[in-house]
Structure formats: C-alpha cells, structure tokens
Amino acid sequence: MLFMHLNLYKSKLYVSAVVTAFLVLSTTQFVYSFEDVNFVQELNSGYQEPVDVVVSNDGEIYVLDSRLAQVLVYDETGYYLRSFGARGSGNGELNSPQSIAVTPKNEILVADTGNDRIQAFDRDGKFLFSFGSSGRLRGQFQSPTGVTTDSNGFILVSDSGNQRVQIFSPHGIYRYYIPFEDEPLDVSIDSNNTYYILRPQAGVVSVISPEQRTDVRCLIGNKNYANAGSGITVDAKGDIYITETFEHSIKKFNNTDGLLLSFGSEGKSRGQFKSPAGIYVDRNNRIYAVDTRNKRVQILQNSGNTNLPMVTEERSVPMIDYIDTIPADLYLSDIQINPDGEVLSLSDKNDYLMIHGVVNQVIGSTGRSEGQFNAPAAFDYGPDGKIYVADTLNHRVQIFDREGKFEYAFGERGSKTGQFSSPQGIVVNSNGIIYVADTLNNRIQMFNKDGIFFMAFGTRSITKKDQQPDTGTFLQPKALALNTDEDLYVLDSGNNRIQVFDDKGRFIKTIGALGESYGQFNDPVDIAIDQENHVYVAERDNHRIQIIFPWSEKTIVFGSSGLGYGCFQELTGVEVYQNKIYVTDQQDSGIRVYQFDKNFKQSAPSKPEIQPQKPKEEIQDDEEEFELR
C-alpha cells in the first residue's frame, strides 16, 4: 500500500473565477449554451492511473486508482483523509479496478475488474463482502467495468465481457440482467431509478425506465461523441454527462439528443483533459472529472440551467435481500419452520434432525432401529405438532411427537401399496392426511394419521423425443407442498416440472418445463408455498430460487452460481415463513435467510443524487421478463 509521506496526498486547492462561454452545434443548427463552468479545485495526490470518482452523502470524495489498486479518500475541501486497497486477489485486494460507487448506507462498491467481482467496503475501507466470479453464468462476470447503486441500494454492474448489465440486491443477490449486442462500458442511475447505460460500440446511451427504453446519441454535427464515451453520470434534473476521448472533453445533453453543454479540450491546463474517464455530479451541480493521463481529478462548478429537478415517483417493487445465516452443519437436505418460528433442519449425511434454538436439540442417529435414520431426505411439521420424516434409505416414514420422542413408523422397501422405494417427499394436510412422494416407484401415496394406506396415484412417465410427458405421470417425484386450498404441489423432478392435484389426487395443472428462463426449471430439488400461495422452487442446476406468483404469469428469481451471499452451489432446500426465505445448500455450513418484501416502496434518495432503471419494449433474459427489481 502506498503510504509514503502524508503530505504527498494533500491536494492543492485552486480557486478561480475562470468562466467560459460555449458555442455548441446541434444536429440541425447552432445554439448557444447559457451554462457556465468555473474551475474549483484539483486533486493530484500521487496518482498513477485514476479512473473513477464518487462523492458520498456526507461529502467525502472517493478516487479510484487502477494501477495503485487503491481508493483514496478526501474530505469535501479536498484534504486527504485515508486510503485503502492493495494489489491482489484476496478479500479487500484489487486487480485493475475500473469503477466505484457509494450506496445509500455509505458503503463503498468497487468493480474489481481484473478479479471479475464486486467488492464492498465500509467508509473506512474495511472489507465487508464480495460477489461474483469469472464466468458467463448469471451472477458471474467477464471484466466488469462499471458499478452504481440506486436510492434503495440495488446494484447495477456493466458486465462488459458478457455484453450485459446485471442487477443485484444490496448484498449482491442476483436478480436479473439486461442483454446487449455490444459491450456496455458504464452505468448511472437517476433519482427515479432510471438506468443510463453507456454503450460506445453502439454509439448510444440507453435510457431504460419501467415504461420504455430509448437510445440517446450525443451528436455535434455528424460526429457522435457517444462512440468515444468513457464515463457517464446523471444529475438531479435527468441531464446526462459523458466524458469522451475524441476531443478529451465533457458533453452534457438531455435524453432527447439535445446537447446542453460542451467544454474541455486536450491539454494540461485547467478545464483541459487527457483521456478523461470517470465523472460524478453532486446535488449542487459540482462536476468531479477524472483526468487519467494528467493523473488528477478536476472539480468544476456548473451554473446549471433553469430546468426543474426530476419529480420522484414512488413505485412498489419486490425486494429480496440477504439478512442472516443460521449456523448449521454441511449436507442439509430439508428445512421447516414450526408455528413458533423455530427452525428445524434435516441432514441426510449425518442422519439427524435438529431443532435450532438457544440450545439445539438433535433427534435421531444413523441406523435402522426406531428413531434412527438412513439418508433422510424430507420431513414435515404437521398441523398436530408432530414431526413426519421420510426416512429415505430405510424406505419408511417415522413420526415423532413435538418433543422429538419416537411414536411410530410405517412402510418397508417394495413396490406394493404401503411400501416405498426411497421416499423423498412428505407433507401432511389439516385433516391429518399424509402424502408421501414414493420417489423410485414414481407415485404419490396417501395415508391417514395412523399410517394406514388408502390411496395412490401416478405412474412412471414415458416420454418421446420433443414430447412432454403425460400429466399424472412422474419421473422421480420429490418435494411436496400444500397451498391454502390444500391442493397438492408435486415437484416432478425428473420431468423438471410441478404438477398440481386436488386433495383427492385429481390433476389440476402443470407448471414449468426444462430450461433456464423464468417459469422453467433445471434439476428442481425443493418447493415451498407461503400463506399468499406464492410458490418457491429451489433449482440446483440453475443455481437459483424461483418465486412464482399466484393467479398470474409473474415470476421473479434470485441467486446465481459463484461466490457471495446470493450464490448457490448445490441447493437442497427452501422454506418460507413470515416473509423470510430460508435456503439450504449442501456446500454451505449454514441456513441462509433472505427478507422478501413483495411490495417494497422505492424511495427517493435522501439527498438529490444521481442514478438508473428500465426498457421501452419488454427486455427479456432469454424469455425472462424484464421486471422491476
């Protein structure tokens, strides 16, 4: 780390009343700009390759130096305060970082481009978390070059090498992406959470709101300065600023191609630039421009215009974010929450069920005797307070009282009625009817509360090429769940679908098919349903949780492969309780908990800041709906 002499970092303060009048040419005529720019200050604290700058809500200035692999921090007067970061690939270390942002909580996000990840720090530079890894899957990156956040902390990343912008919840939980046919370089967001995406290869800035998408050019005569754009930001009025390298200047224009201001030229003097890069405009129209090859940051005051600030619109959108991890062993196979809010987990490798509390209670051990298990895959906390366990490789169901004392068991290995072959799903309805997914027998069996068989339905699916399997047939059914009408949802895992039946086993509908788009599944392993009948599906090979809204086609997802709070390697279970989603993963020594606010109110920034949102035509991720966070 570059600590040297402290005075090396103390910036010099220049104050000047230099005012320049600007003549700009629109696409059709000459027009005069009535905006002025005054030089205020220069930061030149021993930089090697400054690339981006941002200002926090309390006025601290953060400058990112790619070659130093450091963030240098100044107070609002330009006095050096501290720095953090070093070259490397460990936590808190950086490799050719290209972009920096500040969240509403004053946490610092850095696009760690050479390490293909985003890192988060507190304001003092302490490492908090990271997300992403090298790759092309959802949640992975190939040379991320831009990062920003909206007023609620949602994170946008320009994943340039993968030709997309990815959107994440505040703790880096993957939500969705916007695909492009070129490499988006940088991103910004306004106070209405509309997205502004700089696309030099396409020569446009894409402005994406919930209602529409428009592509804005930056034209002066026949020259499109967006082709040479290197950084972007948006002010409180929705005006767009880009730095560009044709003339080494800054252009300001509105979202209808109207040029408002152009200033700067190639050189070393005040208001001149060599390879300008990152840019930021604060609430007082003060411009912070990174002058990379001159190894400095210039701060200039824009007089602004008479346009009114944007009116912030309140929107209701889903919010899903990580909140906690409950300590637990590896290799959990299922999870349930009892009516008292206690978390129960099942381990198919360690052969026990655990009730998590102040003192954890363990039920079961490895074996074939009563109360012992052999690779149990699923359980249910029944309406009578009893615990029903699908003891998979013992080919039986075991029942325990609410204290964990063994009561009785039923079933044995076989294919006759009342027998099982590796049962991997179980659920109990309000009348005490026990539904068991008899997995390798490809059927659902129904028993009364005493374990007495009275009905079975389903046969093995026989599929032909390019044909969907018949309804009412199964290929290794696994998890089971009930909605509020007590319809039975069967996770027909081998067919990558959900089949829904009434309480008598009569077919109602099918949800899903093999695929990666919204409403499709790839190796689904568990299912849960909340009190509003939202269906939650854990997909192992898609590395995500999918939430299907009732009585509509709306679906949202979260999670991805890679590293971070929202990354899943080998999903095994999902459960929901009081707007909290509980997730288990074979490779994670803990139960991760996420808050799901279905009607989260998007708020305006605490101070009029700058930041983006969405499209004109519906943008789709494969066939995924471009949804409001």
pLDDT at 621 over 50: no
Same domain, yes or no, for 276 and 366? no
Residue at 107 is within a domain: yes
pLDDT of residue 607: 37
Environment class of residue 5 by beta-carbon count within 10 Å: exposed (0-12), middle (13-18) or buried (19+)?
exposed
Q: Phi-psi category of 441—alpha, beta or left, where left has phi over 0 and alpha has psi -120 to 50?
A: alpha
31 or 601, which is more confident: 601
Contacts made by residues 122-129, CB under 8 angstroms, sequence distance 24+: 123/56, 123/60, 124/82, 124/84, 125/71, 125/73, 125/82, 125/83, 125/84, 125/85, 125/92, 126/84, 126/92, 127/91, 127/92, 129/171, 129/172, 129/564, 129/565
pLDDT at 264 over 50: yes
SS3 content of the chain, % helix, strand, coil (to 5): 5, 50, 50
Same domain, yes or no, for 226 and 371? no
Residue at 512 is within a domain: yes
Residue 427 C-alpha from the chain's centroid? 31
In the β-sheet with 80-84, what is the strand arrangement from edge to edge? 50-55, 61-65, 70-74, 80-84
Residue 11: HSE in the Cβ half-sphere, 13 Å Cα cutoff: 28
CB 404 within 8 A of CB 387: yes
Q: What is the pLDDT of residues 377-424, one digit of tens each?
A: 999 999 999 999 999 999 999 999 988 999 999 999 999 999 999 999
Residue at 598 is within a domain: no
Q: What is the pLDDT of residues 518-566, one digit of tens each?
A: 999 999 999 999 999 999 999 999 999 999 998 777 899 999 987 889 9
Same domain, yes or no, for 411 and 454? yes
Same domain, yes or no, for 289 and 365? no
Residue at 231 is within a domain: yes
Residue at 7 is within a domain: no
Widest CA span in the chain: 92
Same domain, yes or no, for 198 and 61? yes
Same domain, yes or no, for 127 and 260? yes
**pLDDT average, residue stretch 274-281:** 96
| Whole-Å CA distances, 358 to 338, 343, 355, 575 | 15, 11, 10, 21
Residue at 5 is within a domain: no
pLDDT at 62 over 90: yes
604 or 578, which is more confident: 578
**How is residue 588 annotated by DSSP?**
-
Same domain, yes or no, for 478 and 529? yes
Q: How confident is the model at residue 224 (pLDDT cuts 50, 70, 90)?
A: very high
Q: What does the DSSP assignment read for 46-97?
A: S-S-EEEEEE-TTS-EEEEETTTTEEEEE-TTS-EEEEE--BSSSTT-BSS-
CA–CA dist 205, 26 (Å, integer): 17
Q: What is the pLDDT of residues 96-114, one digit of tens each?
A: 999 999 999 999 999 999 9
Domain boundary among 535, 561, 592: 535
Q: What does the DSSP assignment read for 7-35?
A: GGTPPPP-----B--EEEE-SSSEEEE--
**pLDDT average, residue stretch 468-490:** 96
Environment class of residue 222 by beta-carbon count within 10 Å: exposed (0-12), middle (13-18) or buried (19+)?
exposed
Same domain, yes or no, for 172 and 210? yes
Domain boundary among 535, 552, 576: 535
CATH number for the domain spanning 447: value is 2.120.10.30
Q: What is the pTM of this model?
A: 0.82
β-bridge pairing 473-474 and 459-460: parallel
CB count within 10 Å of CB 262 equals: 21
Q: Cite the DSSP H helix spans in 384-502.
A: none
Q: Which two tokens stand for residue 254?
A: 């509105």
CA–CA dist 170, 104 (Å, integer): 10
pLDDT at 25 over 80: no
Residue 443 C-alpha from the chain's centroid? 37
Contacts for 269 with CB less than 8 Å, ≥ 6 apart? none
pLDDT of residue 33: 52
pLDDT at 599 over 90: no
Quote the percentage of the chain above a pLDDT of 90: 75
Domain residue limits at 200: 37-302
Q: For residue 481, which of 529, 550, 449, 552 has the smallest C-alpha distance? A: 529
| Whole-Å CA distances, 250 to 247, 261, 273 | 9, 8, 9
pLDDT at 24 over 80: no
Same domain, yes or no, for 293 and 382? no
pLDDT at 606 over 50: no
pLDDT at 238 over 80: yes
The rounded mean pLDDT for the chain is 88
Q: How confident is the model at residue 330 (pLDDT cuts 50, 70, 90)?
A: confident
- Domains identified in the chain, total number: 2
pLDDT at 342 over 90: yes
Same domain, yes or no, for 232 and 375? no
Q: What is the pLDDT of residues 65-88, one digit of tens each?
A: 999 999 999 999 999 999 999 999
Same domain, yes or no, for 258 and 379? no
**pLDDT average, residue stretch 196-203:** 96
Residue at 125 is within a domain: yes
Highest mean pLDDT among 321-335, 345-359, 487-501 belongs to 487-501
Contacts for 340 with CB less than 8 Å, ≥ 6 apart? none
Bridge partners (DSSP) of residue 583 are 574, 592
Domain boundary among 302, 321, 349: 302
Strands (E), 385-469: 387-391, 396-400, 406-410, 425-428, 434-438, 443-447, 453-457, 459-460
Contacts for 405 with CB less than 8 Å, ≥ 6 apart? none
pLDDT of residue 529: 97
Residue at 513 is within a domain: yes
pLDDT of residue 257: 65
Same domain, yes or no, for 295 and 365? no
